[in-house]
Amino acid sequence: MFKDGMVSMIQKAKKMQEDMKIVQEEIKLTTCQGESGSGAVKITLTGEYRVTNIQIDESLLTDKEILEDLIMTALNDASFQISEISKAKLKNVTGGINLPF
């Protein structure tokens, strides 16, 4: 009886591990675009938190401080989106269990 429960638990753990690998690959392939300044700054970020594109409206090139703030806001927006997508995908795999990764 105990043996059957242990075998079942091991099988579930293996399935979760396989599903986790699939989800991690999906997250890597995910991209999000963060925006700020009503779209004047757009930053595209991958699921691995790598910036792949930055678009800046030319009208912002004269004010360094505003541009820096808008870049930071757009990057934080994209990063938040990736984080939320990752959490949701991982939650589906773990059944809501918070694992340390």
9 pLDDT band, cuts 50/70/90, is confident
Which two structure tokens, joined as six digits, stand for 24?
Answer: 């991690």
How far is C-alpha 68 from the chain's CA centre? 23
CATH assignment of the domain containing 57: 3.30.1310.10
Range of the domain at 36: 32-92
| 65 within a domain of the structure (yes/no) | yes
pLDDT for res 62: 96
| 98 within a domain of the structure (yes/no) | no
74 pLDDT band, cuts 50/70/90, is very high
pLDDT for res 7: 85
pLDDT in tens, 29-69: 999 999 999 999 999 999 999 999 999 999 999 999 999 99
pLDDT for res 8: 85
| 16 within a domain of the structure (yes/no) | no
| Number of helices and strands in the chain (H, E) | 2, 3
Domain count, the chain: 1
| 73 within a domain of the structure (yes/no) | yes
Q: Are 71 and 41 in contact (CB under 8 A)?
A: yes
| 78 within a domain of the structure (yes/no) | yes
